[in-house]
Structure 1
């Protein structure tokens, strides 16, 4: 029987809601009847489990299929006897980020093992072979059909999740109950911003909608919180506290609350010396793809200076795509989309073969444009199979060495930058726009604008949990900062300025690779946990 592709097995398990160890996938692929082995493993796994471990698969195969050669199919995989549970150290530091080209501490000497890729890659220390855990991936779970009920479901789910983060901070009442309260009463509403308009006197009226109705809140222009109105986007969820007018028909706002990241948030850290390179927007296939910069980056990854860089996280736009903007075909070096991915896969082979790679799609990639975006289909996965890269949807939260990295390509940054004042969000400082999304706890709050949003049963774009690192791309600008101890990084690009970008005044930052030292996120000095490498 021909060996099942690991991609198909991962897709099947993901569609059932399970992440999987790499070695578990290998064992399932080598089982005499892979489909039956999958079914038996899922029947045996605990009801509350979200990950199918290698131990789960081994137990099932040994119990149901007799003697199983545990080493079969693992010639290129190095196992660890006990991955262990981590108790990551945390800190309440609030680092002031400055660019640094100095490396942190030298990793300890450890025993190396040869990569099994055959690419002549350097040796590296043996490590736990389990892949980074993935959460929030829509791949295999998309249910939206575009019907009215789908839109109701996604907005209701958004409201329930974000209002739940606000209700503990205010004495919330539904709008239908506020309508019946006597004038002069103190009240608080948690609602979705349905409308924002100015009055003849320069005050602001905000219509707040919940599941029971809509109620207006008035923000006086001379109040300190009036500046917060500048940060509001349609469809985001906020809480407003205040006092009802004498006739009870309007709420005079005294304070505005966002779901936000708690100021007490402390990032998790890895429990060993290990780093991740965060990049995006490679754009292979464009005449302006900077292959020289990419090659310098790939060569650097093979040097001793990069020994601790074991993870490569790519936040979308692997290729330039076809028909993305007017007259794009005149700027293409490769005109066929599949040939573009073949070329990208060849460039990916230049990085060390034993790196753990995670990729999400972007708006130039061959997936649906509406967010959340499912991961690449099986045909493209097969093309990009170099180094057994982990491919997931946009957005996804990737847990690497105990550190949660929220990966999002970043299309909604265009909308945030367009809607908010320049000193609050701009292309020159994309990290400020990212901070706004963290404050709103939503990837793309505004519906119906430039960001295409797919209605699903649940809102995959809500930030239900606070990430340790927020990684985006899309705008082709390098930017990084810290928002309530969450490290925000926009990782620039690998494409020189195109004529289209010139026409819209985009001056890209090319060939940068932010290197995050996962074990040092609790340090107060940015140079200890973030190094910006330039290869352009």
Structure 2
């Protein structure tokens, strides 16, 4: 440090200037690269403006360094917008009309995404032209998939049905198509090999374009992500959870504006009395913190997607001014940053079907498919007159519960956050450590993992 101070003084005095102690202290806090650049700019400005003493205000004016204002996050009002959430009025009946309406709405929503980046023909036009060898481009929903030497897809749009062949010789396309599922909507480009057969040259899912770049807040505002409390489980880590609440009531309240809870609040849907325990916990949270809650499969609501909000024995929680009880999935905006909350119930079957090894791979696959249940029948799903699981709006943050695993990753600009559990894992050699909380700064999307395990 002494050597750096001497270097600064020597360079400034040699140029015929003096420097105030405050300016000297500030410049000495810079790293060597920053210091060299800043000194050149300061000395040039001093010569230009005929300054004799280099003061801290002058340095900051030249470098356009803004004073960091200490902002009391508790006094900043929450800015919460609920964009979408399943209704409590979900019908369990399935009719042919409902199924047709569900698949048509899913197709149209995903087609709308694809047609913004691709030109295409409808299937009837391709068939009627009957020009074998001609280029063909279509958007369709996969009806069937068969895999032998080649992969064969049967796809349809609202005008007809076509067969698609993905030859094994095209190894990259072949490997990509291995993970395609019935009911996914895809773009296909290829050549008409026969009257009703296209040999594919390229395929595309609705996906998220790499150009997506979320814009952070102007000030440091933090959000905490938790899930899978499993209150009522014999191994629920009550002491650790209370330690987290103590942190929120003290140091945490100075930073955290939002607490997002992604499902499995209690351990057994038949033990609704445990929502009273949850209510007592939520009462401990400062009212300056906005709490958003969605259900999981162990909560007292339907264990199918889309899940309606919890309604049984939760009246006291619903009446809390700083708590919002939503369904699963829920899309919200906090300080104009969009967050998709999703408890991934039943996702293990989907992962097994297409050989996804980790929840990170699953999250990226769902975002790439732009759908939270890409294939009907792979996860518990009740169809509706409209599809409620398409990711029409690209979220800035995708918050995933269910897997009891904490991680932060990114996919094409979307921050993926998985929150852990408050019960220990019973898996051998598991990396699923309980009582860990990802905390994100909405200004720069940096994430820290806090541990409250006792």
* Correspondent of 1:445 among 370, 374, 378: 374
- What's the counterpart of residue 234 of structure 2? 287
Give 1:387 deviation, angstroms.
Answer: 5.5
* Correspondent of 2:144 among 175, 195, 200: 195
Q: Report matched runs for 1:32-431 at 5 Å.
A: 108-110=69-71, 125-128=74-77, 132-140=80-88, 142=90, 145-181=93-129, 182-199=131-148, 202-223=149-170, 224-245=172-193, 247-304=194-251, 307-322=254-269, 337-377=271-311, 379-383=313-317, 385-386=319-320, 388-411=322-345, 413-421=347-355, 425-426=356-357, 429-431=358-360
**Is the contact made by 1:187 and 1:241 (CA closer than 8 Å) also made in structure 2?**
yes
- What's the counterpart of residue 419 of structure 2? 491
CA-to-aligned-CA distance 1:146-165 (integer Å, 9 cap, x gap): 11111111110000010111
Give 1:143 deviation, angstroms.
Answer: 5.5
* Correspondent of 1:433 among 362, 365, 387: 362
Give 1:212 deviation, angstroms.
Answer: 2.5
Give 1:340 deviation, angstroms.
Answer: 1.1
Q: Distance in 1 between matches of 2:321 and 2:328?
A: 21
Going from structure 1 to structure 2, the CA distance change for 1:167 and 1:129 (only over 3 Å counts) comes to closer
* Correspondent of 1:513 among 417, 421, 437: 437
**Is the contact made by 1:413 and 1:430 (CA closer than 8 Å) also made in structure 2?**
no
CA-to-aligned-CA distance 1:58-101 (integer Å, 9 cap, x gap): xxxxxxxxxxxxxxxxxxxxxxxxxxxxxxxxxxxxxxxxxxxx
RMSD (CA atoms): 2.2
Unaligned runs of 5+ in 1: 1-105, 112-123, 323-335, 522-528
**Is the contact made by 1:144 and 1:456 (CA closer than 8 Å) also made in structure 2?**
no
Aligned length: 385
Going from structure 1 to structure 2, the CA distance change for 1:271 and 1:209 (only over 3 Å counts) comes to same
- What's the counterpart of residue 460 of structure 1? 388
Give 1:228 deviation, angstroms.
Answer: 0.7
**Is the contact made by 2:185 and 2:206 (CA closer than 8 Å) also made in structure 1?**
yes
Pair 1:534 & 2:454 matched: no
Going from structure 1 to structure 2, the CA distance change for 1:316 and 1:306 (only over 3 Å counts) comes to same
Instruction: For residue 533 of structure 1, give the secondary structure of its aligned residue in structure 2.
Output: strand
